[in-house]
Amino acid sequence: MSEQIAESLADEEPSLTGATSHRRTSKVAIVGAGAVGSTMAYAALMRGAARTVALFDINKAKVEAEALDLGHGIQFMSMAEVVGSDDIAVCADADVVVFTAGAKQKPGQTRLDLAEATIGLVKKVLPSLVEVAPNAVYVMVTNPVDVVTYASLKISGLPPTQLFGSGTVLDSSRLRYLIAKHTGVAVQNVHAYIAGEHGDSELPLWSSASIGAIPLLEWQGIEGEGPLTSAVRDEIAREVVESAYRIIEGKGATNYAVALAGSRIIEAILKDERRVLPVSSLLTGYYGIDDVCLSVPSIVGSAGVLDRLPVPMSVDELSGLRSSAQAVRDVARRFGF
């Protein structure tokens, strides 16, 4: 059998009727080939998340170089194709579009300070993306993610199931890491969420958190590690909020953990996992909160955000979530949304 025939057959599979049809393979398009976008592509490839990873960026030399560099490593990971271009057509027919392009956060800047420049970029790029990939699930991974997600819904006209933000998936990972470090338990056995804004007004949902099957607030400690007192919890919450600023101060950008968080969201969509993730989506009637994009534990699958879970909250947590909603809403209104 010639190589040409073998390649042709590899692209086809028998149908139930005995005929052949083109095999549908998964495609992820990543908008922005900067620190986050290129690392996101690397993480998705290493995890075998998609058969095709397409990078789009207006910097032609940069995006082509990133794709070439990643392509040279395909031998050492799951088989995939990597393409990079400054032509938006490279994103055509993607199953998932991850939007990482945006203004770079500088030391001392809050995420909300970035809103104007990033929303301006979304206005330029997103409509063309929707034209070439109308059926994709869109994941916004650019700051301030809650405001940008809300603006993107208005700009694109896409339903709130189909477009959402990465929200506090990374923040929740940071929270679990710090709890695990304090308690001496594997991070995989810590279950806790950060809710609200991906930013300074976010809050940990302590009342629903657990370590193994033990409610976190009832944790007494093991092997010399003490319980998670109110003071310890406050310190952990503060470190979660400030950790991104520390990383940006030290190395200029956060990229590894956010890329891993993003690739986890990609897998939940492509594999229709119905995984519970604290993504940022448009809330309607969630504990009386409406018309704002915020992170709450949500079910994510092939159609995007399928539902939001009514997680039990304390009076203080619910008050904090509503305050966070108002903070995000105020910024969105400032920009006409």
Catalytic residues: 198
Asked if omega into 144 is within 30° of 0 (cis), the reply is: yes
Tokens standing for residue 171:
């923040």
* Closest among 147, 181, 185, 186 to 291, alpha carbons compared: 147
User: Which of 66-76 are b and which e, b meaning 16 or more Cβ less than 10 Å from the residue's Cβ?
Assistant: bbeebbeeeee
How long is the chain? 337
Could you give the angle at which helices 145-156 and 115-132 cross, rounded to 10 degrees?
A: 40
Could you give the angle at which helices 256-270 and 35-46 cross, rounded to 10 degrees?
A: 50
β-bridge pairing 96-99 and 27-31: parallel
Amino acid occupying residue 301: G
* Closest among 302, 315, 308, 306 to 283, alpha carbons compared: 308
β-bridge pairing 137-140 and 163-165: parallel
Could you give the angle at which helices 145-156 and 315-334 cross, rounded to 10 degrees?
A: 60
Helix (H) or strand (E) holding 52: strand 52-56
Say if CB 197 and CB 145 are below 8 A apart: no
Say if CB 266 and CB 296 are below 8 A apart: no
Distance CA 65, CA 265 (A): 26
